[in-house]
A and B are shown apart, each in its own frame.
Chain A
Amino acid sequence: TQLLEQSPQFLSIQEGENLTVYCNSSSVFSSLQWYRQEPGEGPVLLVTVVTGGEVKKLKRLTFQFGDARKDSSLHITAAQTGDTGLYLCAGESGSARQLTFGSGTQLTVLP
């Protein structure tokens, strides 16, 4: 069974601060996806990384896939209150079309 450990589980910071969320596994994934979920809604895809060592930037968000494709990180620069939400990492392996989700990081950005 593949597991994705996500940390921290909860994060409360002030607007303007930087933060990093980590996603780790002992398994290799062919792709790693990051989603953000608002209360009462489904997850919304932020990014997909597929190549070991890959770095993708989405405005103030930077996503990195580990060289061995077992871990990933999400870094947010100068957080804003609109960044508040549940951040989920999810891995996919081989040809199996199923996502293994991390437990999520509940981020609260205070004004």
Chain B
Amino acid sequence: KAGVTQTPRYLIKTRGQQVTLSCSPISGHRSVSWYQQTPGQGLQFLFEYFSETQRNKGNFPGRFSGRQFSNSRSEMNVSTLELGDSALYLCASSPWLGGQDYGYTFGSGTRLTVV
């Protein structure tokens, strides 16, 4: 069974540009969450989507946005990139809303470097 696929794995962007990251969850999983991981702040929640609807959002500026498609694939977009946006962006999928004893399956992440 295929895992969570994130593309691209590595990305270098210039300050001020925008970027789109993609996540394909495990087949049948309808909940997709995004996290940012940095050495200073650790893992922080960005947002969560279920059935194409954003259900929950973390404490990040509006430059961070996302969406989910009908096939559960998700994208996140960061506009007007800042140096501090350099991080490992992780996507996690889960089979349903609720069922907290299931846990999440994470992808390998997209390493974004802003120069």
Contact = CB atoms under 8 A, between A and B. Distances in A.
Contact of B56 (A35, A44, A98, A101): A98
A40 interface: yes
A81 B104 CA distance: 26
Interface of B: 4, 31, 33, 35, 42-45, 48, 50, 55-56, 58, 90, 92, 94, 97-98, 100-109, 111
A31 B101 contact: yes
Secondary structure at the A interface, as helix, strand, loop or mixed, is: loop
Report the interface size class on chain A.
20 to 34
Contacts of A101: 35, 42-44
Contacts of A104: 42
Contact of A98 (B4, B33, B102): B33
Interface of A: 30-31, 33, 35, 40-45, 48, 50, 88, 90, 92, 95-104
Contact of A45 (B48, B104, B107): B104
